[in-house]
């Protein structure tokens, strides 16, 4: 059952914030939803984009900072953004680091104790959140896309590649594109998944795209700032680009001089991402 925490008029639609008891996580979870004006009409069903945020973010970050509602209203697309990890799991040390634990669930299902009980963000996003949105809100289950930023860009690419039957379109801003090769990914995967690096590959988009069961024929869109302070050490877009080329997966990887890793970058190109998804979902 959804608990509506707040609702705000926005570009003719409504920006809402919800809380619910998650069976997958075993704790209350929060998420945000923007319903465009088209969704507020009787018997309406609109496409929806799931946005996965990056490290330290919450369900509010994208709604407040990206400026996406204006373009979602123009195209008639709903926006759904979950939190980035469980809150209140009580795992010792879960708030000790900004890149692991609270705010850093990495969109995986943890297999290692003490994380395995609550840190199940992959199943939460793919199954419970998606099904909750489809059951409770005016969203069309046949027209879903997914996108995200940084850790969430990793999550969006990975979830789409593993589940093309659920997501028809995908894009990312500055994704952690080869997490098995970078310090952020090694820390998170080692902690949540253990030492078996073969198991890590199930969550690495640069590995998954080569053996994906279905291509995104309309292409994957990725934007990357060249002044991004994490580009060289953590993100590896070139690895993902090479993997897409080898797999025959259409990819548009745009590199932008002067742009860093933050929401000024995202807000600059968010219109293009909404349009990319709308072309697929409304075409």
Distance CA 218, CA 166 (A): 15
Alpha carbons within 13 A on the beta-carbon side of 226: 6
Strand intervals (E) in 56-136: 78-82
**Could you report the average pLDDT of every consecutive run of 10 residues in the chain (283 residues)?**
97 98 98 98 97 98 98 98 98 97 98 98 98 98 98 98 98 99 98 97 98 95 98 98 98 98 98 98 94
Cα 18 to the center of its chain, rounded Å? 18
Return the SS3 of 17.
strand
Length of the chain: 283
35-73 pLDDT, tens digit each:
999 999 999 999 999 999 999 999 999 999 999 999 999
Closest CA to 136 of 53, 282, 31: 31
Name the residues annotated as catalytic. Answer: 150, 228, 261
CA–CA separation, 216 vs 220, rounded Å? 7
| Spatial separation of the C-alpha atoms in residues 27 and 44, rounded to whole Å | 31
Instruction: Give the pLDDT of residue 1.
Output: 86
How far, in Å, CA of 119 to CA of 112, rounded?
A: 10
> CA-to-CA distance for 95 and 261, rounded, in angstroms?
23
Question: To which H or E segment does residue 243 belong?
Answer: helix 237-247
């Amino acid at each position: 059952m959804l608990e509506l925490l707040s609702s705000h008029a926005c570009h003719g639609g409504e920006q809402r914030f919800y809380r619910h008891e998650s069976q997958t996580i075993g704790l209350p979870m929060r998420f945000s939803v923007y319903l465009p004006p088209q969704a507020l009409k009787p018997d309406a069903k609109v496409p929806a984009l799931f946005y996965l945020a990056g490290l330290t973010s919450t369900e509010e970050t994208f709604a407040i900072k990206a400026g996406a509602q204006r373009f979602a209203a123009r195209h008639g697309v709903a926006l759904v953004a979950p939190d980035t990890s469980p809150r209140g799991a009580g795992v010792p040390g879960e708030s000790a680091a900004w890149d692991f634990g609270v705010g850093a669930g990495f969109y995986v299902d943890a297999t290692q104790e003490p994380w395995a009980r609550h840190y199940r963000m992959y199943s939460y996003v793919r199954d419970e959140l998606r099904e909750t949105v489809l059951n409770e809100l005016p969203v069309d289950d046949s027209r879903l896309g997914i996108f995200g930023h940084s850790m969430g860009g990793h999550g969006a690419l990975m979830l789409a590649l593993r589940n093309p039957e659920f997501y028809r379109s995908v894009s990312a801003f500055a994704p952690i594109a080869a997490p098995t090769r970078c310090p952020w990914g090694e820390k998170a995967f080692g902690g949540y998944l253990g030492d078996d690096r073969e198991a890590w590959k199930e969550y690495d988009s640069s590995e998954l795209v080569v053996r994906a069961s279905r291509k995104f024929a309309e292409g994957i869109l990725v934007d990357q700032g060249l002044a991004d302070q994490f580009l060289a050490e953590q993100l590896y877009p070139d690895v993902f680009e090479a993997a897409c080329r080898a797999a025959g997966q259409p990819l548009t990887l745009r590199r932008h001089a002067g742009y860093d890793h933050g929401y000024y970058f995202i807000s600059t190109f968010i219109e293009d991402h909404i349009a990319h998804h709308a072309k697929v979902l409304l075409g």
